[in-house]
Amino acid sequence: MTLPFELVVDHGGEEPPFEQVRRQVSEAVTQGVLVPGDKLPPVRTLATDLGLATNTVARAYKELESAGLVATRGRAGTVVLGFGTEQAARAATAAYVVQARHLGLSDDEVLAHVRRALG
- For residue 9, being part of any structural domain is answered with no
* Separation of alpha carbons 113 and 99, rounded Å: 13
Q: pLDDT 10s per residue in the chain (119 long)?
A: 789 899 999 999 999 999 999 999 999 988 889 988 899 999 999 999 999 999 999 999 999 998 888 999 888 899 998 776 666 677 678 888 889 999 999 999 999 999 999 98
Question: Do 57 and 34 belong to one domain?
Answer: yes
Domain span holding position 37? 17-82
Query: Do 99 and 78 reside in the same domain of the chain?
Result: no
Q: Do residues 77 and 36 both lie within one domain?
A: yes
Residues 26, 64 share a domain: yes
Residues 64 and 102 in one domain: no
Using a cut of 0.85, tell me whether the model's pTM lies above it. no
- Say which residues have a Cβ less than 8 Å from residue 95's Cβ, sequence separation at least 6: none
CB 70 within 8 A of CB 30: no
Q: Residue 22 in contact with residue 64, Cβ under 8 Å?
A: yes
- Look up the CATH number of the domain holding residue 57: 1.10.10.10
Q: How many domains does the chain have?
A: 2
